Amino acid sequence: MTSTNTTSSGRSYRGLTPEQRTAQRRERFVEAGLNLFGNEGFHATTVRKLCKEAGLTDRYFYESFSSMEECLIEVYERCLQGILARLQKSLINLEGKTFPEELIRRLLNDFFAEMEDPRVAKVCMFEAEGVSDYMHGLYNDYIRRFVMVLMGASRAYVKEWPLNTEETEVLGNAIVGGIIQATRNWAVNDYHLSRESLVNGIMVIFKGSQLLLGEK
């Protein structure tokens, strides 16, 4: 007699299809990865630790990921895509409806609010370093995305944008680099500064750029 609770391929179990169960297990590994990578670090995390944290066996780990690096990539991209989505939402909701300074402040506040989760800060700010060339490329790709978001918002500060594409990239990298360093310092010092102080400090860079490029 065949049990109604079988997990055979194609059959539902507790109302879930095999695909849904696989997706659930993957999510448990992603959450476990955020906890471990974001607390102990990638290099200190093993498959055994990850499986214990997720409450699953290594068989299920390799069902979802081919390696620990692939799991880190998934966690890393989830964090950064979530931050970018929040920034894009603010741009859509506020652009053209508020003063440029208020828009930049909102974007910075959104970013630092996400980084107040120490797990997210560690994964995004530290754990991509030295893992592989692919992770290094992924890190640089997200830097470019953040540069595009901030430079796009910054253009609202001036009447005519005087910089060419390459010069805009240099300015954007300089600003984003400053934000990254401020975030790293904030995180490693147990969030010793208020979010407001971080935003106010970074805003000086934008205001300085406004004066140099010409006010709107």
The answer, yes or no, to whether residue 94 has pLDDT greater than 80, is no
pLDDT, average across residues 113-129: 95
The answer, yes or no, to whether residue 18 has pLDDT greater than 90, is no
What does DSSP assign to residue 67?
S
- Of the pLDDT bands very low, low, confident and very high (cuts 50, 70, 90), residue 11 is low
Residue 93: its pLDDT value, please? 82
Identify whether the C-beta of residue 162 lies closer than 8 Å to the C-beta of residue 214: yes
Spatial distance between the Cα atoms of 126 and 180, rounded to a whole number of angstroms: 10
Within 13 Å of residue 58, how many CA atoms lie on the same side as its CB? Answer: 6
* Residue 153 or residue 196, greater confidence: 196
Residue 13 φ/ψ, nearest 5 degrees: -140, 120
Spatial distance between the Cα atoms of 90 and 94, rounded to a whole number of angstroms: 6
Taking all residues of the chain, what is their mean pLDDT, rounded to a whole number?
88
Spatial distance between the Cα atoms of 138 and 128, rounded to a whole number of angstroms: 8
Instruction: Say which CATH topology domain 18-64 has.
Output: Arc Repressor Mutant, subunit A (1.10.10)
User: Where are the chain's structural domains?
Assistant: 18-64, 73-213
pLDDT, average across residues 87-93: 87
Residue 76: its pLDDT value, please? 97
Instruction: Say which CATH topology domain 73-213 has.
Output: Tetracycline Repressor; domain 2 (1.10.357)
Residue 14: its pLDDT value, please? 64
The predicted-structure confidence for 139-178, as pLDDT tens digits, reads as follows 999 999 999 988 888 777 677 888 899 999 999 999 999 9
What does DSSP assign to residue 95?
T
* Residue 15 or residue 189, greater confidence: 189
Mean pLDDT check: name the lowest of 14-23, 82-91, 113-122. Answer: 14-23
- Tokens 């300089």 map to which residue? 174
What does DSSP assign to residue 66?
S
Positive or negative: CA dihedral 185, 190, 191, 193: negative
Identify whether the C-beta of residue 77 lies closer than 8 Å to the C-beta of residue 138: yes
The predicted-structure confidence for 102-118, as pLDDT tens digits, reads as follows 888 999 999 999 999 99
Residue 12: its pLDDT value, please? 55
Q: Helix (H, G, I), strand (E, B), or coil: what is residue 104?
A: helix
The beta-strand segments (E) located in the chain are none
Residue 215: its pLDDT value, please? 59
Q: Helix (H, G, I), strand (E, B), or coil: what is residue 16?
A: strand
Measured CA distances, 24 to 21, 76, 140 (Å): 5, 19, 30
Mean pLDDT check: name the lowest of 18-22, 167-171, 205-209. Answer: 205-209
Q: Helix (H, G, I), strand (E, B), or coil: what is residue 13?
A: strand
pTM over 0.95: no
- Of the pLDDT bands very low, low, confident and very high (cuts 50, 70, 90), residue 41 is very high
Residue 7: its pLDDT value, please? 40
**CB-based burial, 81-111: b 16+ in 10 Å, e otherwise:** eebbeebeebbeeeeeeeebeebbbbbbebb
Residue 142: its pLDDT value, please? 94
